[in-house]
């Protein structure tokens, strides 16, 4: 586990893609962990595994444009006791190679980390054939598969360190486009529970990042925005706008989709009037569905969904596509206002 500090001010012009942070942290971990193997399907410049390949060529394998072979070979190497991070685009990993991941990696509980980049609508100009909105749904349905979707470069590095240490298969969803930095590295003394509780509104900006435990980025009492991946930044912008109009808005970074942080969801249902899920993924089967599954069992409450609404994407600039398909901070605000206006 590692501590990060929530930034006081988010600079929208300071953006780094999570795939870039992924490439950097592989090199960092690779220097300390000689058991780490990295693999790719001829996309290392895009997935950023090229950084690891340059530093540790004897521990990097490019299998060519053959995604099923990529994950089948990764499974074989993992059987020897190695930890394998295997990368390609999310569409090809979870689409073309799904059966291999399910039967050859997850079923025998192998230590393979499926680290997929270029997910969601922000793949942009590559178009509908490369924009996957089903990957979280597919991966979280596989038994014992941990599913992670970092929100920025800083948290990507921290979560990847834990993913590599985690014993078992993990799916990590990474993006193509740059996203704002939401967290700073924190080297100070970890706060005690008493110190956390003494903060106003029981909110402490220093958070312990760990798999399966969400992060409350902002406290709030009227509505809760539960977001993952690039949508966390959009949720924060929405919360700031809503706060200025008298709606107290909690924001939760649900970086681990499975196992999901049920306690945070139930607390949000009990403390606020409305929950809005925010994801760059289909509203079917992803974060929103995972939240709803918890609520219907534990704390039924009003809920709204922000995401790709049962449709394919198209080629275009990422920002334009986010607007067209309803995944911006303005769309989040519209959902909240529609609820409170009724």
Active-site positions read 67
Spatial separation of the C-alpha atoms in residues 317 and 127, rounded to whole Å: 10
Distances in Å between the Cα of 37 and the Cα atoms of 68, 86, 258 are: 17, 8, 24
Spatial separation of the C-alpha atoms in residues 181 and 11, rounded to whole Å: 7
Cβ atoms within 10 Å, residue 24: 18
- Using CB atoms within 10 A of its CB, is residue 107 exposed (0-12), middle (13-18) or buried (19+)? middle
Q: Please state whether beta strands 223-227 and 249-253 pair in parallel, antiparallel, or not at all (unpaired).
A: parallel
Spatial separation of the C-alpha atoms in residues 217 and 214, rounded to whole Å: 9
Spatial separation of the C-alpha atoms in residues 294 and 277, rounded to whole Å: 13
Order of strands, edge to edge, in the sheet holding 2-6? Answer: 183-185, 2-6, 206-209
The long-range contacts involving 317-324, CB below 8 angstroms and separated by at least 24 positions, are 317/124, 317/125, 318/121, 318/122, 318/123, 318/124, 318/176, 318/177, 321/121, 321/122, 321/124, 322/121, 322/122, 322/280
Record the tokens describing residue 175, joined without a space.
């993006």
Main-chain dihedrals φ then ψ at residue 70, nearest 5 degrees = -55, -50
């Amino acid at each position: 586990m590692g501590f990060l500090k929530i930034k006081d001010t988010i600079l929208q012009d300071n953006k780094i893609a999570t795939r870039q942070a992924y490439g950097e942290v592989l090199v960092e971990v690779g220097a300390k962990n000689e058991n780490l193997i990295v693999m790719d399907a001829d996309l290392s410049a895009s997935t950023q595994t090229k950084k690891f390949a340059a530093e540790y060529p004897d521990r990097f394998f490019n299998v060519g444009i053959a995604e099923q072979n990529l994950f089948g070979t990764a499974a074989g190497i993992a059987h020897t006791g190695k930890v394998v991070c295997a990368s390609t685009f999310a569409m090809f990993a979870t689409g073309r190679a799904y059966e291999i991941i399910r039967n050859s990696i997850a079923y025998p509980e192998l230590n393979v980390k499926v680290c997929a980049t270029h997910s969601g609508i922000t793949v942009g100009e590559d178009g509908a054939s490369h924009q996957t909105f089903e990957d979280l749904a597919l991966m979280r349905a596989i038994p014992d598969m941990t599913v992670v979707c970092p929100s920025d470069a800083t948290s990507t590095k921290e979560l990847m360190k834990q993913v590599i240490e985690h014993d078992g298969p993990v799916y990590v969803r990474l993006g193509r486009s740059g996203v704002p930095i939401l967290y700073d590295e924190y080297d100070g003394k970890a706060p005690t529970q008493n110190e956390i509780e003494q903060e106003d509104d029981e909110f402490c900006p220093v958070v312990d990042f760990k798999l399966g435990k969400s992060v409350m980025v902002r406290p709030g009492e009227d509505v809760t925005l539960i977001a993952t991946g690039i949508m966390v930044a959009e949720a924060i912008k929405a919360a700031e706008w809503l706060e200025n109009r008298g709606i107290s808005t909690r924001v939760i970074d649900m970086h681990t989709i499975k196992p999901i942080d049920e306690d945070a969801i139930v607390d949000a249902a009990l403390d606020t009037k409305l929950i809005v899920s925010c994801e760059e993924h289909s509203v079917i089967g992803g974060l929103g569905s995972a939240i709803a599954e918890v609520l219907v069992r534990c704390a039924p409450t009003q809920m709204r969904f922000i995401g790709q609404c049962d449709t394919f994407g198209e080629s275009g600039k990422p920002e334009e596509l986010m607007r067209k398909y309803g995944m911006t901070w303005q769309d989040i605000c519209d959902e909240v206002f529609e609820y409170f206006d009724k």
